[in-house]
Amino acid sequence: MMKNKHIHIRPLTVKDAEESLKYQLNNREFFERFSMTRSSDFYTIEGQTERIRKYAEHMSTDEEYNLGIFTNDTDTLIGSISLFQVLRGDLQSAFIGYFLDKSNNGKGYATEAVELIVEYAFNEINLHRIEAGVMPHNIASIRVLEKAGFHKEGLAKKNVKINGKWEDHQVLAIINPDD
């Protein structure tokens, strides 16, 4: 578990499946504005349980790191954050993605979570670079990344399919300062 002022992040366990499903259902419309297409079983307890099992497997093989964002005071699941498409060899990089419960936006929690996972990525799993892609109109998410030390690198045209439409994404990145 990694902890800072208001939140902590940790891998989800099967015990978190019910809370994860509730969190996803409560934010479905909000999240789907920014997410890739989700499978039909995504919004079921079985689907959440299987996702969590796969997360643990991917973490053990250094492919992906999917963590929950929890409040320190109530230990409530309020978000998710991940490092995915982990590349080793001469690249030592990954992409970052995150979602935060709509009722917890604007409180600094996403920035805290990004800072925690960046610290983990650079100091624990020895990544050199973390890259993010954000739809240009998602100003709040771009601001989160900038506050956490990411810099803008350019615009990837029609880069990710969101809700059946190819969307442009602002590319941001952060480099391990020790490299």
Asked if 65 and 83 touch (Cβ cutoff 8 Å), the reply is: yes
Q: Which domain, by its residues, includes 104? A: 2-175
Per DSSP, what are the bridge partners of residue 166? Answer: 161
Helix (H) or strand (E) holding 175: strand 165-175
Q: Which two tokens stand for residue 139?
A: 């100003």
pLDDT tens digits in sequence order for the chain, 179 residues long: 899 999 999 999 999 999 999 998 888 887 766 666 677 788 899 999 999 999 999 999 999 999 999 999 999 999 999 999 999 999 999 999 999 999 999 999 999 999 999 999 999 999 999 999 999 999 999 999 999 999 999 999 999 888 788 999 999 999 999 99
Domains of the chain: total: 1
In one-letter notation, the amino acid at residue 90 is D
Instruction: Provide the CATH number for the domain around residue 46.
Output: 3.40.630.30
Asked if 64 and 82 touch (Cβ cutoff 8 Å), the reply is: yes
